[in-house]
Amino acid sequence: MRRLPVLGLLLLATVLGLSACGVVVSYRNNVDKLNERLSPPMTAAEVMLALGEPVRVIDRDDKRTQVWEYRLYPRYHWAKELLVCPFTAWLGGCLFYPSIGVSDPNYPPAYYVVFYELELCVWGTLESVSASTTCHAPQKVSRRSVILPADS
């Protein structure tokens, strides 16, 4: 009979621990990682340690320029997840995944890290990376890949 309260507390602790899973994902994978952890001239290995595995890697034909794509949540997205958690928990949102933007395939937004000869060159959104003149950056995005400009 004494096991019932212990099992109830264990179950409650498990549910409360899992209830923040979507919040933790959006907190750990936010855009602040780019601004706080990157600085030139980092190598590709150092960026991999700082940011983790990219979602997609695009090589240029000359193999000197490489673009890594990361999907990062906006700053303070975790707070929004925490606020909507009571309303989305019955769908599984915030229990197992971030619920805001779950139906949008382009969410969270893409951020790009560009390497030239495996050294960090430029990083940011597609617009900011494309406007950069410091290295070869992507010009536009198709659904399948980033299209890089030809060498000048």
CA dihedral 137, 76, 29, 93 (to 10 degrees): -120
Q: Where are the alpha helices (DSSP H) in the chain?
A: 3-18, 21-28, 32-37, 44-51, 77-88, 126-131
In a domain, 6, yes or no: no
In a domain, 3, yes or no: no
In a domain, 25, yes or no: yes
Q: Which residue has the tokens 């769908």?
A: 91
Q: Are strands 65-71 and 56-59 parallel, antiparallel or unpaired?
A: antiparallel
In a domain, 10, yes or no: no
In a domain, 74, yes or no: yes
Count of the separate structural domains present in the chain: 1
In a domain, 67, yes or no: yes
d(CA 136, CA 117): 11
pLDDT in tens, the chain (152 residues): 566 676 666 665 555 555 556 677 777 888 888 888 888 888 989 999 988 899 899 877 667 888 999 988 888 887 787 787 777 766 666 666 666 766 677 788 889 999 888 889 888 888 888 887 777 545 555 444 454 444 44
Partners of 129 in the β-ladder: none
Enclosing domain of residue 112: 18-147
